[in-house]
Amino acid sequence: MTPEMWITLAILVAAIVLFITEKLRVDVVALGVVISLMLTGVLSTGEALAGFSNSAVLTIASLFIVGGAVLQTGLAAMIADRIIKVAGTNETRLIITTQAAAAMMSGFMSDTGVVAVMLPAIISLANRVKVSVSRLLIPLAYGSLIGGATTLIGTPPNIIVADLLRDEGLEPFAFFSYTPLGLVIAISGVLFMLVIGRRLLPDRSKDRGKPQLITPHELVEIYKLPDGLFRLRVRSKSNLAGKTLEEARLRSDFQVNILEIRRTKQPRNTNRPRVTGSLLPLNGYQNIHPTLDAVFEVDDILIAAGTTDDISRAAAEWNLGVQPASSDDRDMLITHEVGIAEVIIRPRSTLVGKTLTDAAFSATYHLTVLDIQRPGYEERLDTDSTELRTGDILLVQGKWADIFALKSRQRRDFIVMGETEALTVAVNRPKAPIALAIMVGMLFLMITGWVSVTGASMLASLAMILTGCLSMDDAYNAIDWKSIVLIAGMLPMSTALEKVGLVEMVANGFTGILGDMGPMAILAALFVLTSIFTQVLSNTATAVLIAPIAFATATSMGVQPHAFLMGVAVAASMAFASPVASPVNALVMGAGHYRFSDYAKVGIPMIFIALVITLLILPLLWPFYA
C-alpha cells in the first residue's frame, strides 16, 4: 500500500470510530474529514470542497424544505389523521395500519418527519383504545424505514447511488425505479409483523413511566405546580425595580422561576390605593410573558414557581411582598397564548452533556424549564447545574409558539410529548392545499423526467417559500444542516478512496474471494456489509462509503452495476437492529419504553427477509448482464 492509501485509511478509520462512539457530532467529524484530506494533500482544495456543490446535497437540502412546508402547513398531520382513522380499535389492525401508513408516507417525505408527525397521534390512539404503545411504535419506525426504499426521494442513499450512476455516464435510477423491489419488501415487512413480528413486540403497558399524551392541565397537577406557585409584589422600595430578569438572577441564585408578570394598565401614581393583605386583583392588569430583557417595575405582580424556602430567600433579598397563588393564577399558566409541555432530550441532541445554563436555554428557546426528570432518579435535579442526558424530560413553560418551535424547528434536539389544540395554532393550515399542489407538481416533474430531480426539488422548495407555506427563516430551520454537512463532508472521502486506489483494492478483494461464486454472492456480501455498517453509522454515510466499492466491483467483474448499487441503497435503509441505527428508532425508544434487545429481536429477522427478497427479485429487475 502507498503512503496515500495509509493516510486515507487512517482518516476513514478515525472517522468511523468517532461516528460510532459519538465523541464528536457527526457534522464536526465530516468537516474534520474534509480538512484532513485537504491538509494531507490526498485531495486538492477543489476536490475536498466539491461535496458542498454536489447535486445530491442540493437535492436533499431542497427536499428538507419541501418536507418542512408539508409539516408547517399541517398537511402531513392531516394525511396521518385520515390514515389512522381506518385503524379501528383492534390491536393487530392497529399494528398493520400503523406500519403500512408510515411506509406509504415515507416514500414521499423523510422518515423522521413521518414518525414525528404520527408519534403523538399513535400514542393518543393507543391510550384511547387501551393498547400498549410499545406494541405500535416499533412498527411505526420500521414502516417509515421500509417506505424510504420505495422511491428515489424516499431516503438520501437512493439519491446518492443514482447520482453515482449519472456521474459515471450511465442511466441513473428514475423516480419509481426503486418501487417494485421496495414495495415487495414493504409488503413482506407488514406480513412478517402480522404473522411473527407482533408476537415478538414487547408489551410494556404495566411498566412505570408508560408514556401518555397528558394534557397541560394534567401536567399542572402531576408536577404539583399549584403547591409551588406564589405571587411576588415588587414594592416601592424594592431593588428589583428597574432591573431585568437576567440581572435579577432569580433562577440561578434562588431557584425561582418567573412564569408571568402582571402589570397595571394605568400609569402608576402615588394617589392610587395600594392593595395589601389579600390577594391582588386581576382586573386592570396586563399579562407580560417574561423574557431575559424584561424590566421589572414597582407594583408588578410576579407569578413565581419555587419552594417555600427559595421564595422566602428571594423575597427577603429583593424586598418583595409574598402571597399564596390562587386558582386563577394556575389557570393563567395555560391559555391560548402560553402553556406547559414535557420535552424529551433526543439522542445526538446538541444539548446532551450541557447544562441549561451552558446551552443558554431561556435565551435561545424563550422558554422556562420548571423541572428536569431523569428515568431511574428519584431525587430532584438542579435545573441549572445538571448536565443533560438522552431521555431527560424537561417541563417547559412559555408561549405555545415557542413550544411549537421545538416541535417543528428543533425536532433534531427535542421530542415534544404534549399534543394540544394550542400547539396546532401555529400551523399554517390555510396553505395546506397549496403545499399539496406544489408537492404533486414536484413529483410529476420528477416522474416524467421533464426536469432533473435536483431542478424539480429546488423549484418546489422555492415555490413553498414564495407562496408563504413557510418563511425563509423556517426554510433554513427545516434543513437538517447536520445531515447536509455530513453528506458534503463524506463525499470527498469517497473521492479519496477512489483516487488512492483503495476502492479498486477492496473491489478486487471482493472479486478474488467471491468472484468464482458469481455476482449473486457479491450482491449478498454487499447487502450484508451495508446492513451491518448502517446499524452503527448513518445510512447516508454508509451509502457514500460502500456505493463506490459496489460500482468498482461490478466493473471489475464485467457486470452491470445497477443491481449492486440498488442493493446497497436498499440495505442502507434496513436499520432495524439497534436503537442507534436510525433517528426514528431513537425517536420511539423513550416513548415506547423499549430496550436494546427489542430492536434486535424484531429487526434482525426483517433484515434477513429483505436480503432474501433482494436476492430473488433484484437480478430480475436489473440483470447482471446486458
pLDDT tens digits, 76-132: 667 666 766 776 677 888 888 888 888 888 888 777 767 766 776 677 677 767 778
Q: What mean pLDDT comes out for the span 583-594?
A: 72
Question: Hey, what domains does the chain have and what are their CATH numbers?
Answer: 3-206+451-621 (no CATH), 216-332 (3.30.70.1450), 338-418 (3.30.70.1450)
Against a cut of 0.85, is the pTM above it? Answer: no
Is the pLDDT assigned to residue 269 strictly greater than 70?
Answer: no
Q: What mean pLDDT comes out for the span 538-567?
A: 86
Is the pLDDT assigned to residue 607 strictly greater than 80?
Answer: yes
Helix and strand tally (H, E) in the chain?
28, 9
Whole-angstrom distance, CA of residue 412 vs CA of residue 539? 16
What whole-number percentage of the chain has pLDDT above 90? 8
pLDDT level of residue 208 (50, 70, 90 thresholds):
very low
The strand pairing partners of 301, in sequence order, are 233, 262
> pLDDT tens-digit profile of 445-484?
878 878 887 888 899 899 999 998 888 887 887 777 777 8
pLDDT level of residue 626 (50, 70, 90 thresholds):
low
pLDDT level of residue 625 (50, 70, 90 thresholds):
confident
In terms of pLDDT, which residue wins out, 173 or 121?
173
pLDDT level of residue 271 (50, 70, 90 thresholds):
very low
Q: What mean pLDDT comes out for the span 168-189?
A: 89
What whole-number percentage of the chain has pLDDT above 70? 81
> pLDDT tens-digit profile of 329-382?
666 666 666 778 888 787 667 888 888 888 888 778 888 888 887 755 667 787
Is the pLDDT assigned to residue 412 strictly greater than 90?
Answer: no
Both ends of the chain: CA-CA distance in Å? 35
> pLDDT tens-digit profile of 151-172?
888 888 888 889 888 888 888 8
Q: What is the pLDDT of residue 327?
A: 65
> What is the rounded average pLDDT for all residues in the chain?
79
For 184, half-sphere exposure in the C-beta direction (CA atoms, 13 angstrom radius) is 16
Q: What mean pLDDT comes out for the span 428-456?
A: 83
Task: Return all residues near 616 (Cβ < 8 A) that are at least 6 apart.
Answer: none
Q: What is the pLDDT of residue 571?
A: 92
pLDDT level of residue 420 (50, 70, 90 thresholds):
very low
Q: What mean pLDDT comes out for the span 49-56?
A: 80
Instruction: Find the range with the poorest average confidence among 358-367, 379-388, 426-435.
Output: 426-435
Is the pLDDT assigned to residue 210 strictly greater than 50?
Answer: no
Q: What is the pLDDT of residue 282?
A: 46
> pLDDT tens-digit profile of 508-532?
776 777 767 888 988 998 999 888 8
Q: What is the pLDDT of residue 427?
A: 53
Q: What is the pLDDT of residue 562?
A: 92
Instruction: Find the range with the poorest average confidence among 529-538, 549-558, 615-624.
Output: 529-538
Q: What is the pLDDT of residue 610?
A: 93
pLDDT level of residue 285 (50, 70, 90 thresholds):
low
Q: What mean pLDDT comes out for the span 148-153?
A: 86
Residues 438, 463: contact at Cβ < 8 Å? yes
Please report, to the nearest 10 degrees, the dihedral formed by the alpha carbons of residues 190, 193, 196, 201 taken in order. Answer: 170
Strand, coil or helix: what is 176? Answer: coil
The closest of 252, 364, 362, 233 to 296, measured between CA atoms, is 233
Is the pLDDT assigned to residue 20 strictly greater than 60?
Answer: yes
Q: What is the pLDDT of residue 575?
A: 84
Q: What is the pLDDT of residue 216?
A: 64
Is the pLDDT assigned to residue 423 strictly greater than 60?
Answer: no
Q: What mean pLDDT comes out for the span 238-247?
A: 86
Strand, coil or helix: what is 90? Answer: coil
> How many residues are present in the chain?
626
Q: What mean pLDDT comes out for the span 15-24?
A: 76
Is the pLDDT assigned to residue 231 strictly greater than 60?
Answer: yes
H helix or E strand, kind and range, residue 598: helix 596-621
For 609, half-sphere exposure in the C-beta direction (CA atoms, 13 angstrom radius) is 20
Q: What is the pLDDT of residue 617?
A: 92
